[in-house]
Amino acid sequence: MKNQKGIISTIILIIVALIILGYFHISFKSILMSPLVKSNLDYAWNLFVTGFNSFVSWIKSFLNI
Protein backbone atom coordinates (compact mmCIF):
# COMPACT_ATOMS: atom_id res chain seq x y z
CA MET A 1 0.00 0.00 0.00
CA LYS A 2 2.88 2.35 0.77
CA ASN A 3 4.26 1.91 -2.77
CA GLN A 4 0.89 2.90 -4.24
CA LYS A 5 0.89 6.12 -2.22
CA GLY A 6 4.27 6.99 -3.74
CA ILE A 7 3.01 6.35 -7.26
CA ILE A 8 -0.15 8.38 -6.71
CA SER A 9 1.87 11.23 -5.17
CA THR A 10 4.22 11.22 -8.16
CA ILE A 11 1.33 11.32 -10.64
CA ILE A 12 -0.30 14.18 -8.75
CA LEU A 13 3.02 16.06 -8.64
CA ILE A 14 3.46 15.68 -12.41
CA ILE A 15 -0.08 16.91 -13.07
CA VAL A 16 0.42 19.93 -10.81
CA ALA A 17 3.75 20.72 -12.49
CA LEU A 18 2.10 20.61 -15.94
CA ILE A 19 -0.70 22.89 -14.72
CA ILE A 20 1.86 25.37 -13.37
CA LEU A 21 3.78 25.30 -16.67
CA GLY A 22 0.52 25.95 -18.52
CA TYR A 23 -0.28 28.85 -16.21
CA PHE A 24 2.99 30.52 -17.18
CA HIS A 25 2.34 29.77 -20.89
CA ILE A 26 5.21 27.30 -21.11
CA SER A 27 4.53 24.46 -23.50
CA PHE A 28 5.97 21.17 -22.26
CA LYS A 29 5.70 19.77 -25.78
CA SER A 30 7.72 22.62 -27.30
CA ILE A 31 10.40 22.13 -24.66
CA LEU A 32 10.69 18.42 -25.46
CA MET A 33 10.67 19.06 -29.22
CA SER A 34 13.55 21.52 -29.02
CA PRO A 35 16.57 20.20 -30.98
CA LEU A 36 18.90 20.83 -28.06
CA VAL A 37 16.68 18.98 -25.59
CA LYS A 38 16.19 16.10 -28.04
CA SER A 39 19.96 15.85 -28.44
CA ASN A 40 20.49 15.82 -24.69
CA LEU A 41 17.78 13.20 -24.14
CA ASP A 42 19.23 11.01 -26.89
CA TYR A 43 22.67 11.28 -25.31
CA ALA A 44 21.31 10.41 -21.85
CA TRP A 45 19.36 7.45 -23.28
CA ASN A 46 22.46 6.14 -25.07
CA LEU A 47 24.44 6.40 -21.82
CA PHE A 48 21.72 4.47 -20.01
CA VAL A 49 21.59 1.74 -22.67
CA THR A 50 25.38 1.41 -22.72
CA GLY A 51 25.52 1.22 -18.94
CA PHE A 52 22.71 -1.31 -18.79
CA ASN A 53 24.34 -3.50 -21.44
CA SER A 54 27.65 -3.34 -19.55
CA PHE A 55 25.88 -4.28 -16.34
CA VAL A 56 24.15 -7.25 -18.00
CA SER A 57 27.48 -8.40 -19.48
CA TRP A 58 29.10 -8.13 -16.05
CA ILE A 59 26.29 -10.18 -14.46
CA LYS A 60 26.58 -12.81 -17.20
CA SER A 61 30.34 -13.10 -16.69
CA PHE A 62 29.86 -13.22 -12.92
CA LEU A 63 27.33 -16.06 -13.25
CA ASN A 64 29.30 -17.77 -16.06
CA ILE A 65 26.30 -17.82 -18.41
pLDDT at 1: 54
65 and 39, same structural domain? yes
Among residues 45, 21, 49, which one has the least CA distance to residue 37?
A: 45
The pLDDT tens digits for 25-62 are 999 888 888 999 999 999 999 999 999 999 999 999 88
How many domains, in total, are found in the chain?
2
27 and 39, same structural domain? no
Q: Print the domain residue range for 60.
A: 34-65
Say how far residue 22 (Cα) sits from the centre of its chain: 21
39 and 16, same structural domain? no
1 and 19, same structural domain? yes
Q: What is the pTM of this model?
A: 0.59
25 and 38, same structural domain? no
47 and 21, same structural domain? no
43 and 23, same structural domain? no
Residue at 3: amino acid letter? N
Long-range contacts of 12-15 (CB under 8 A, 24+ apart): none
